[in-house]
Amino acid sequence: MKFCFNGCSFTVGEGFDAGDRDLYVYDRLLEKKFGFKRDNIASCGASNYLIFMRSARAIMSGEYHCVVTQWSELNRIWFYPGPDGEFFSNSDNQNFKYREIYLSQQEIQKFKSTLLMLNGDYNNIIDLVTFCNILSTLAIEKNVKTVFVNGLLHWYDDLIKPLNTDLHNSLSDYSKQLLDFDHRDDDEIQRFFETLQKKFATLDRDLWVNLFDPWIRNIIDKGPLGHHPGVLSNQLMADKTAEYFIKNQII
């Protein structure tokens, strides 16, 4: 039985030296607990589009009993100015240079601020639900188990609750930000949010380990390098995933 784990730096095991990842990172802990074989195809800084494409290839390969997909931040984008150059929208570049292209740190910060304004989470959530639906359909066709993990998605369960007339108290602060709450009338807010809820309703929530409880909110310690989930956090992630595996007869 072989499992594939995909995601961003949380699943890579960033925060640990490469030699320590086999001891502490949650997918390795699950491998030891259940005795399956494992591939880890996660990459640091991965966008959800990249994660989607990698999980789709893993499912279609026919190599795996189960593909576990950990989703990352919604607004990550990678740019490729050439075949040997890349720029990550969420990185901390001091400057960027590729051939005739040069961006100073100040120019990069301005670009990032503009990009964030142009790349809101509302439509990224719709895209992510579509990614999940495609992967779950592919998994059924290929007779592969698929499991989704919320690594850095900040959505809340108001996405599945009926709206009432008191919109202010019906919506989380995050959803209010999605909708630009303070600058829309009630009809607009209700219309846009109901559209989002209808899309979200197509999501198979049973495929998720922690739909509304992302790992980012469960970091109780940091890795030895001073960032990302540490030993205790990875153990918690492994325990929750193991519980899901057993409950849903993944293994």
- Distance of alpha carbon 134 from alpha carbon 128, whole angstroms: 10
With respect to residue 98, please indicate whether it lies within any of the assigned structural domains. yes
Q: Is residue 69 domain-shared with residue 83, that is, in the same domain?
A: no
**Residue 51: count of CB within 10 angstroms of its CB:** 26
* Final residue in a domain of this structure, among 115, 143, 171: 115
Q: Is residue 8 domain-shared with residue 126, that is, in the same domain?
A: yes
240 with 209: CB under 8 angstroms? yes
DSSP letters along 153-200, please? Answer: ----GGGGS---S-HHHHS-HHHHHHHTGGGS-HHHHHHHHHHHHHHH
- Three-state DSSP state, 83: coil
With respect to residue 108, please indicate whether it lies within any of the assigned structural domains. yes
Q: Is residue 38 domain-shared with residue 102, that is, in the same domain?
A: no
How does the average pLDDT of the chain come out, rounded? 95
* Final residue in a domain of this structure, among 51, 86, 115: 115
Given a cut of 90, whether residue 31 has pLDDT beyond it is yes
Q: Report pLDDT digits (tens) over 179-188.
A: 999 999 999 9
Given a cut of 80, whether residue 37 has pLDDT beyond it is yes
Q: Is residue 70 domain-shared with residue 141, that is, in the same domain?
A: yes
Q: Is residue 211 domain-shared with residue 101, that is, in the same domain?
A: no
Q: Point out which residues pair with 40 in neighbouring strands.
A: 5
6 with 61: CB under 8 angstroms? no
pLDDT band at 117 (very low <50, low <70, confident <90, very high): confident
Given a cut of 80, whether residue 93 has pLDDT beyond it is no
- Of 222, 245, 247, the residue nearest 38 (C-alpha): 245
Q: Is residue 22 domain-shared with residue 107, that is, in the same domain?
A: no
Residues 209-220 have a mean pLDDT of 96
Does an H or E element contain 33, and which?
helix 26-34
Percent of the chain past pLDDT 70, that is, above it, reads: 100
211 with 150: CB under 8 angstroms? yes
* pLDDT at residue 34, rounded to an integer: 98
Q: Which residue has the tokens 């490469």?
A: 18
With respect to residue 190, please indicate whether it lies within any of the assigned structural domains. no
Residues 22-40 have a mean pLDDT of 97
- Distance of alpha carbon 174 from alpha carbon 161, whole angstroms: 15
Q: Is residue 44 domain-shared with residue 104, that is, in the same domain?
A: no
* pLDDT at residue 138, rounded to an integer: 98
Q: Which range marks the domain in which residue 63 is found?
A: 2-77+122-155+205-247
User: What's the predicted TM-score (pTM) here?
Assistant: 0.94
Q: Is residue 215 domain-shared with residue 105, that is, in the same domain?
A: no
pLDDT band at 88 (very low <50, low <70, confident <90, very high): confident
* pLDDT at residue 116, rounded to an integer: 83
Q: Is residue 149 domain-shared with residue 214, that is, in the same domain?
A: yes
Q: Is residue 131 domain-shared with residue 82, that is, in the same domain?
A: no
DSSP letters along 49-68, please? Answer: HHHHHHHHHHHHHT--SEEE
Total number of domains constituting the chain: 2
Q: Of the given ranges (115-119, 151-155, 167-171, 214-218), which has the lowest mean pLDDT? A: 115-119
Q: Report pLDDT digits (tens) over 119-152.
A: 999 999 999 999 999 999 999 999 999 999 999 9
* Final residue in a domain of this structure, among 115, 143, 176: 115
With respect to residue 198, please indicate whether it lies within any of the assigned structural domains. no
* pLDDT at residue 95, rounded to an integer: 87
Q: Of the given ranges (30-34, 53-57, 110-114, 118-122), which has the lowest mean pLDDT? A: 110-114
With respect to residue 34, please indicate whether it lies within any of the assigned structural domains. yes
